[in-house]
Amino acid sequence: MHGKHHVLNRAFPLHTARSVTDMEAALQLVRNVVPPLAAWKHKGQAGRIGVVGGCPEYTGAPYFAAISALKVGADLSHVFTTQDAAPVIKSYSPELIVHPVLDSPSAVQDVEKWLPRLHALVVGPGLGRDDVLLENVKGILEASRTRGIPIVIDADGLWLVAQQPALIQGYQKVVLTPNHVEFSRLAEAVLGDPLDGRDRYRSVQRLSQALGNVTVVQKGEQDVISDGGQALTCSREGSGRRCGGQGDLLSGSLGVLAHWALLAGPEKTNGSSPLLVAAFGACALTRQCARQAFQKHGRATTTTDMIRELGPAFSRLFETSAGADGGGVAPTGELHL
Ligand SMILES: NC(=O)C1=CN([C@@H]2O[C@H](COP(=O)(O)OP(=O)(O)OC[C@H]3O[C@@H](n4cnc5c(N)ncnc54)[C@H](OP(=O)(O)O)[C@@H]3O)[C@@H](O)[C@H]2O)[C@@H](O)CC1
Ligand SMILES: Nc1ncnc2c1ncn2[C@@H]1O[C@H](COP(=O)(O)OP(=O)(O)OP(=O)(O)O)[C@@H](O)[C@H]1O
Ligand SMILES: [Mg+2]
Ligand 2 centre to CA of 307 (Å) is 14
Residue of 219, 291, 337 best suited for mutating to test ligand 2, as the one with most atoms within 8 Å of CB: 219
* H or E stretch covering 98: strand 97-100
Collect the ranges in the chain with pLDDT lower than 70: 1-21, 195-196, 321-337
Q: Work out the end-to-end distance of the chain between its first and last CA atoms, rounded to an integer number of angstroms.
A: 9
Give the Å distances, CA to CA, from 232 to 8, 27, 29, 193, 318.
Answer: 8, 11, 13, 23, 18
| Res 321: pLDDT | 55
SS3 218: strand
Q: What predicted TM-score, i.e. pTM, was given to this entire model?
A: 0.91
What is the distance in A from the centroid of ligand 1 to the CA of 181? 8
Tell me, using a 6 A CB cutoff, whether residue 155 lines ligand 1: yes
What burial letters (b/e) apply to 82-108, b meaning 16+ CB within 10 Å? beebbebbbebeeebebbbbbbbeebb
pLDDT of 195? 67
Query: Which residue ranges are tagged as binding site for ATP?
Result: 219-223, 238-247
Is 126 touching ligand 1 by the criterion CB < 6 Å? yes
Whether the CA torsion 163, 217, 62, 52 is positive or negative: it is: negative
pLDDT in tens, 241-270: 999 999 999 999 999 999 999 999 999 999
- Whether 183 and 218 have beta carbons less than 8 Å apart is answered as yes
**Quick one: DSSP state of residue 177?**
-
Q: Rounded to 10 degrees, what is the CA torsion of 200, 252, 277, 22?
A: -60
330 within ligand 1 shell (Cβ under 6 A): no
ipTM score over 0.90, yes or no = yes
Amino acid type, 275: L
- Pocket probe for ligand 2: among 200, 232, 246, the residue whose CB has the most ligand atoms within 8 Å is 246
* In contact, 51 and 255? CB cutoff 8 Å: yes
> Going from the N-terminus, what domains does the chain have, and what CATH number goes with each?
43-319 (3.40.1190.20)
| Residues contacting 290, CB < 8 A, separation 6+ | 238, 239, 241, 246, 301, 306
DSSP 15: G
Per-residue pLDDT, 334: 32
Q: What is the pLDDT of residue 320?
A: 72
Task: Let me know how long the chain is.
Answer: 337
Residue 323 C-beta-side C-alpha neighbours within 13 Å: 19
Ligand 1 pocket test: which of 58, 68, 88, 177 has the largest number of ligand atoms within 8 Å of its C-beta? 58
Question: How many CB atoms are located within 10 Å of the residue 325 CB?
Answer: 10
Q: pLDDT digit string (tens) for 307-316?
A: 999 999 999 9
**Pseudo-torsion of CA 28, 148, 249, 203, nearest 10°?**
-80
- d(CA 220, CA 242) in angstroms, rounded, equals 10
- C-alpha 56/C-alpha 192 separation (Å) is 33
Q: What is the rounded radius of gyration, in angstroms, for the C-alpha atoms of the chain?
A: 19
Ligand closest to Cα of 284 equals: 2
Pairing between β-strand 215-218 and β-strand 223-226 as defined by DSSP bridges:
antiparallel
